[in-house]
Chains A and B, each alone.
Chain A
Amino acid sequence: MFAYLLKRLIGVVPTLALLLTLVFFVLRLAPGGPFDSERAFPPEVQAAIAQHYHLDQSIPAQFLLWTKDLLSGNMGESFQYLGQSVSGIIFTSLPYTLILGVLALLLSIIFGVPLGALGAWKQNSRFDRFAMFISNAGVSLPNFLVAGLLVLVFSYNLGWLPPALWEGPSSLIMPVITLGVRPVSLIARLTRASMIEVLSEDYIRTARGKGLSSQVILFKHALKNSCIPVITVLGPITANLVTGSFLVEIVFQLPGMGKHFVQAVLNRDYPLVMGVTLVYGVVLLMCNLLVDLAYTWIDPRIRL
């Protein structure tokens, strides 16, 4: 187990390195630069800026410099927010994005699993059809429609929740719902499908034959085993939450990492894009690792 974990953790390094290299070169080769503006600076100012940020050197040389800095724990300075370090910006914005993501994930498990499981338990009942309708709609809903309707109803009409900006924990409610709708539906659909399969297994018939109550069968035997496909999608769902956070943080004006990423891309803030990509990369790879570990915990037959 420990050896496996170590192997996986070491395996993360080349993947990250490849990703960062790719992103670095794509960024530098893209047209447009960080200090392009409507009115051009005088040439000597431009040269001074380029020299200060090493932009006058060749791209591979810049890459080496950046790598050297990164290995000594320095992600550089943002181009866009003068005088602020990339790590500082990430430190202040990461908590918002993490809280959003974790809450949306919890929401999707708390609502998605029971919705799917109960639907499968009472297959083709009225509840099942209702749950399926909800989750089919949820997968098709553009999240800007969800966000828009929530803001219209709860901010503009009822005035219960702040429409944008961070005004304390209540600012999280609408973003988390917006972010969670899709994962809830995905998890509900998957749980239902795998639950239906599990319920026809021999060990469920055995459990029934032993005279166990239906609650025990549902919760102890069926639910745990039907969780495996659900755990599989947690990886893609995390990826989904990352991109979802771009939209949610822009629409609700939350000071998270997604908003910084989009703005940094638009402004060609190279160091900030690289820093944020690195953090996303680490988070996603760790989530994938956790997903793999969760398999063994749920199903002891799977060995790593």
Chain B
Amino acid sequence: MGSIFLPNLRTGWHVDQAILLEDDRLVIIRFGRASNRECMLMDEYLFQIAEKVKNFAAIYLCDIDDVPDFNQMYELYDPCTVMFFYRNKHMMCDFGTGNNNKLNFPIHDKQELIDIIETIYRGAIKGKGLVISPVDYSSVRRQ
């Protein structure tokens, strides 16, 4: 259901505009395939928190099959990847997984997601490019 209600970015231009035009909010883009189970779950969680974090984060969806422009640049090979941007800057987050560029593992807790978003936002407004995730996911089993 989340994939229907969250705004979908249909072209590369839309993605660019979404990242560029947001001035004081974090831009969160889920790159993935809405047909994938893992991705559906992530959409659902994102949709559930979208209303709560709307003051400091905007959540968008982007289908990597419809918009393949970024696949190579951002290495979007996973079924579901969540990336964070702030004022046209890519925000990195140390999840303990080794890949600080994106969130490409499932998170099954809304509050954890909110905490991550808040942490990244705090770092972003202080001008940091890399923040450390409040939860360490190095021991979380990858699917």
B partners with A: no
Chain B residues in the interface with A (C-beta under 8 A): none
